[in-house]
C-alpha cells in the first residue's frame, strides 16, 4: 500500500481479466420482474440504449447508485466482446455504497409495467483499440426497495439483456471523452500530501486492522472444518479455500505497509466523484490499483466491525483492496453488495465478489 505522497511507478497491468456478468446469478432464482433490452443508438462509437421494463406486478424502487441506472458514476453497465470473444477493457471504478445513508433520491421508481430508457455511453468507460463488430450484453443484479422506501430488501433482482452486435470504429471512438480522463494518474509523477491529521490517523488504523482481519479470515478459510467459509463462499472445495486464503493473504501484505506495495491509497477524493451520485464510502480503479476513501468513510464508519454484516473502516479497506488487480489477479467485482442482496450469487461469482471477502472477514471477527 502506498499512501499519499509517493512516487508513482505505474505497474504495467497486462492482464485485463474482467469476470463476466453472464452466469453471475443462479437462474433458478431469477426474478421475472425486470426486462432489460439493449438497442443500438449511434453506429461507430459504441452508444447503446437500454430499456428497462418492470414486468412484475409490484411497483419497484430501483437503486440508481452504481447500477445500470446510474447516470454519473463511471461504472460498468455492459460487457463488450470483440469478434474473438475478448473483452474491451473496463476503465472505470468500483464504487462502495453506504447502505444506511441511501435516501429517496438514490432510487428510481418503476411502477408495474412501466418502462424507462437510458443511453449507455460504453466508450466512456471501455477501451476499444481495434475496429470491428463487438457484442454487447447487460446482466447483473439490481438492488431495490419497496415503492416509497429507501431501504433495500434482498435478494436483489437479477436481469439478463439480449445480446446485440454493433460495429465500433476505433478512430471515431477515440474522440469520445473518457469518464476518468479529467485527472489522468499517468500524467502525475508525484501525488501531493492530501490527508489531514484525522484522516491520516484513521487510515493508518484502518490499514493495520485490515492486515489483522484479513489474516484472521485467511486462517478461517484455511481450516477445512470452518462452516463459516461454506456460508460465505458456498463451497467446501479445497481449491476455492486456497484461492480465498491467497487473496486475503495478499490483501494483508498490501495493508501491512504504507510506503510500498502494489496498491495506492488516497485519503481525499482524487477523481472528484465521491459526492456525484450517492453515498459512497470509497471507490477503486482496479486497473491502476488505486483506492480512494470518501469523507463518509472517515466521518461515519467505525474503525472495526460493530455488528454482523455491517460496514466499518477495516473491512471496507479489505473490500477495496480486493478490487486491485496488482494485489491479486483476477480482481474482484461488485456483483452484489451486502448480505441479503447477494444470496442469488453462484459460487463462482461469490469468489469474485468483493463483499463476500469483507463480509466474511466481518463474520470471522464478530464470530457471526
Ligand X SMILES: *[C@@H]1O[C@H](CO)[C@@H](O)[C@H](O)[C@H]1NC(C)=O
**How many whole angstroms separate alpha carbon 157 and alpha carbon 169?**
34
**How many whole angstroms separate alpha carbon 133 and alpha carbon 211?**
45
Q: Is 193 a catalytic residue?
A: no
Quick check: 233 binds ligand X (CB under 6 A)? yes
Quick check: 295 binds ligand X (CB under 6 A)? yes
Quick check: 340 binds ligand X (CB under 6 A)? yes
End-to-end CA separation in angstroms for the chain: 29
Residue 99 marked in a binding site:
no
**How many whole angstroms separate alpha carbon 318 and alpha carbon 51?**
35
C-alpha cell at 350: 461469490
Residue with cell 509517493: 6
Here's the x/- map for ligand X, 191-220, by CB under 6 A: it reads as -----x-xx---------------------
Q: In the set 41, 81, 230, 304, which binds ligand X (CB under 6 A)?
A: 230
Catalytic residue of the set 47, 160, 211, 320:
320
Quick check: 283 binds ligand X (CB under 6 A)? no
Q: In the set 101, 185, 216, 343, which binds ligand X (CB under 6 A)?
A: 343
Residue 323 marked in a binding site:
yes
Nearest approach in angstroms of CB 152 to ligand X is 6
Burial zone of 169 (CB within 10 Å; 0-12 exposed, 13-18 middle, 19+ buried): middle
Residue 334 marked in a binding site:
yes
Quick check: 224 binds ligand X (CB under 6 A)? yes
Residues near 314 by Cβ (< 8 Å), separated by ≥ 6? 206, 209, 210, 212, 213, 303, 304, 305, 361, 365
User: Active-site positions?
Assistant: 320
- Kindly list the residues in this chain that would bind ligand X in the complex (CB under 6 A): 26, 28-29, 154, 196, 198-199, 224-225, 227, 230, 232-234, 236, 295, 298-299, 339-340, 342-343, 345-347, 350, 353, 355-356, 359
Amino acid at each position: 500500500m502506498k499512501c499519499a505522497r509517493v512516487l508513482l511507478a505505474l505497474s504495467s497491468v497486462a492482464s485485463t481479466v474482467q469476470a463476466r456478468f453472464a452466469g453471475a446469478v443462479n437462474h433458478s432464482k431469477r426474478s421475472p420482474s425486470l426486462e432489460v433490452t439493449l438497442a443500438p443508438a449511434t453506429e461507430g462509437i459504441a452508444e447503446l440504449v437500454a430499456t428497462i421494463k418492470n414486468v412484475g406486478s409490484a411497483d419497484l424502487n430501483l437503486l440508481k447508485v452504481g447500477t445500470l441506472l446510474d447516470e454519473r458514476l463511471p461504472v460498468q453497465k455492459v460487457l463488450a466482446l470483440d469478434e474473438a470473444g475478448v473483452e474491451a477493457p473496463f476503465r472505470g471504478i468500483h464504487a462502495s455504497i453506504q447502505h444506511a445513508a441511501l435516501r429517496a433520491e438514490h432510487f428510481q421508481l418503476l411502477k408495474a409495467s412501466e418502462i424507462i430508457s437510458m443511453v449507455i455511453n460504453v466508450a466512456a468507460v471501455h477501451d476499444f483499440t481495434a475496429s470491428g463488430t463487438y457484442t454487447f450484453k447487460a446482466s447483473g443484479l439490481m438492488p431495490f426497495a419497496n415503492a416509497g422506501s429507501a431501504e433495500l430488501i434482498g435478494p436483489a433482482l437479477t436481469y439478463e439483456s439480449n445480446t446485440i452486435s454493433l460495429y465500433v470504429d476505433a478512430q471515431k471512438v477515440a474522440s469520445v471523452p473518457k469518464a476518468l480522463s479529467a485527472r489522468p494518474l499517468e500524467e502525475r509523477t508525484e501525488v501531493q500530501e492530501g490527508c489531514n491529521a484525522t484522516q491520516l490517523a484513521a487510515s493508518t488504523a484502518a490499514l493495520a486492522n485490515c492486515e489483522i482481519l484479513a489474516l484472521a479470515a485467511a486462517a478461517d478459510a484455511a481450516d477445512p472444518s470452518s462452516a463459516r467459509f461454506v456460508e460465505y463462499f458456498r463451497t467446501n472445495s479445497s481449491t476455492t479455500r486456497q484461492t480465498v486464503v491467497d487473496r486475503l493473504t495478499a490483501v494483508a501484505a498490501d495493508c501491512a505497509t504504507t510506503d510500498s506495495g502494489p496498491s495506492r491509497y488516497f485519503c481525499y477524493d482524487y477523481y472528484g466523484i465521491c459526492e456525484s451520485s450517492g453515498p459512497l464510502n470509497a471507490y477503486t480503479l482496479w486497473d491502476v490499483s488505486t483506492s480512494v476513501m470518501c469523507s463518509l468513510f472517515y466521518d461515519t464508519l467505525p474503525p472495526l466491525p460493530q455488528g454482523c454484516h455491517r460496514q466499518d473502516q477495516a473491512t471496507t479497506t479489505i473490500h477495496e483492496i480486493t478490487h486491485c488487480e496488482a494485489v491479486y489477479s483476477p480482481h474482484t467485482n461488485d456483483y452484489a453488495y451486502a448480505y441479503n442482496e447477494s444470496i442469488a450469487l453462484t459460487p463462482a461469482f461469490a469468489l469474485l465478489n468483493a463483499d463476500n471477502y469483507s463480509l466474511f472477514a466481518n463474520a470471522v471477527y464478530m464470530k457471526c
